[in-house]
Structure 1
């Protein structure tokens, strides 16, 4: 068999080290939908993608084929100049790719690995040895774990800004990560193409921009705060700015208005909706509450607030006591006519124990003064 044993190859700092785990690799002749001749390339099945290298020692792939658009995989029984070679036709949604393995055994093994990562199930209809089938089952388990880990959202570690922001924060500031900023700009192209966000180190800021050039082109610029105040856009020729608003204005000006702040206006609901259940069949439905003001039925009027007790005029009370200290005077008549709706009506004063005590003391003082004068 010409295929190499299953292992993951890695290059020093090359792109191969950043690829998903390699399940199988070896030389294949490849002819794409728009290619006129086949090329012999070192092929690696990494995750659910085929990566093609010029040779086995290269660290940067020259092509890749995502198997997410898989349609079918069939044998090509046409003859090849190499009588031992075995051909395959890999049909995708955007065309078909012809692959040629060194021999029939290598073709069966390639088919087994391809089906395993596409269907996430080891095929049983191929002519393979028990040890090879066990290898395919292990690949299925690894690929399932890889996809599960990739689909599980992982929260980025919190990176609050340790440096307090100076001045007002622009409206295009969003507390998002680099990837979230790219998604926001791509999903809402009409809301602007530049936003301000926290930097990864937590001590700086960053500006993320998006432009169209045969697809989305993202750029990220670091914005650091100066010790003496203000900010700097860290580019080849640093741009000093006195405030974050000036940072945004400088980028708009440098690009002749091509970059515009990202302002996402999130809509609010115009009607009040609620979910209720049907008493007969239990079906739950979404209802819209009436937009007109609510009116109570005549049979159930709004409860009236209890009437407050009439306030007593303490100044009038004191005046009454000073003018007539007799304890038996209890009625103070106002000059305003009494009526149910008029608050200035007759006040009935109950005798106060304190007033009685003061009257008694005044009597004693008068008696002592008269006795001293006699």
Structure 2
């Protein structure tokens, strides 16, 4: 059977990922892999993100569940008698996963099916409290998808150049003024967002800090002809390979004072 495509790359920080619904260690093995790897796995939105360990801030692989077919138990014995295997089947391949025990396997199945189907599965052995949590996850995922659709429809300053790589979750297709309004209205959601620039050929980062009142700053982000981006914050300018690196550079430069703006509510209700 073909191997389901798993994106392998050093991804963005956890703060830039969609909301995490469930996480824990899983052993993962694709059809072309000879041995399983024990990876810290996070179900964020409808994507599985894999980290080398629980403390890592950057994921090493991810698996989009939009091509999900099924997740079924695998009754074969593991060297760890408490471990519980399962087969994650995608439209273009299969991945073998192993949970530490039967309860963990049942929970992984519950969370994954809830996110994929947007309904709580009724065939699993779950406690009432676990069912309640899954109902909350279904509602959060519905809201997240509505927000994503709203963002896609939202009016924006057009970009005349294609963006390179993945777009961070803190990107908002808003104007300079709308960016300030969002940051002012939702201070608990972060204080830095990425947006289109005024000229349509660049991007900009808008930040807000509370210094006896709101202080906004705007930094131009220019795409280089040879690839990557440059942040116009100082001389020399800061080069970054991807937009994720743009956000990470500003977080690190300010020792965490600036944090990506992540708003889970529908966009249209907030502007």
Interval of TM-score (by shorter of Structure 1 and Structure 2): 0.5 to 0.7
Provide the residue aligned with 1:43 in structure 2: 41
Q: Which residue of 2 aligns with 1:120?
A: 118
Is 1:22 the counterpart of 2:2? The answer is no
Q: Aligned to 1:181, what secondary structure does the other structure show? A: coil
Counterpart in the other structure of 2:155: 155
- Aligned match of 1:181: 161
Shift of 1:181: 2.7
Distance 1:48 1:107 in 2: 18
- 2:131 is aligned, of 130, 133, 138, to 133
State the 1:155 CA deviation: 2.7
Aligned with residue 86 of structure 1, among 78, 84, 88: 84
C-alpha distance 197-99 of structure 1, shift in aligned 2 (>3 A): same
Q: Determine the C-alpha separation between the residues in 2 that align with 1:63 and 1:56.
A: 14
Give yes or no for contact 2:221–2:229 (8 Å, CA) kept in 1: no
Pairs within 5 Å for 1:247-266: none
Task: Give 1:81 shift.
Answer: 1.1
Q: Provide the alpha-carbon RMSD of the alignment.
A: 2.8
Gaps spanning 5+ residues in structure 2: where? 1-11, 164-198, 205-217, 240-271
Q: Is the 8 A contact 2:161 2:201 kept in 1?
A: no
**For the Cα contact (< 8 Å) 2:30–2:94, is it kept in 1?**
yes
**Partner Cα distance (1:22, 1:205) in 2:** 29
The aligned length equals: 174
Length-normalised TM-score, structure 2: 0.57
Asked if the contact 1:53–1:63 (Cα under 8 Å) also holds between the matched residues in 2, the reply is yes
Q: Which TM-score applies when normalising by structure 1?
A: 0.42
| Structure possessing the higher relative contact order (Cα contacts under 8 Å, 6 or more residues apart) | 2
Deviations 1:71-91 (A, max 9, x none): 111110011111111110001
Rate the CA distance shift 1:154–1:87 in 2: closer, same or farther, 3 A: same
Q: In proportion to residue count, which structure has more strand?
A: 2
Which structure's CA Rg is the greater one? Answer: 1
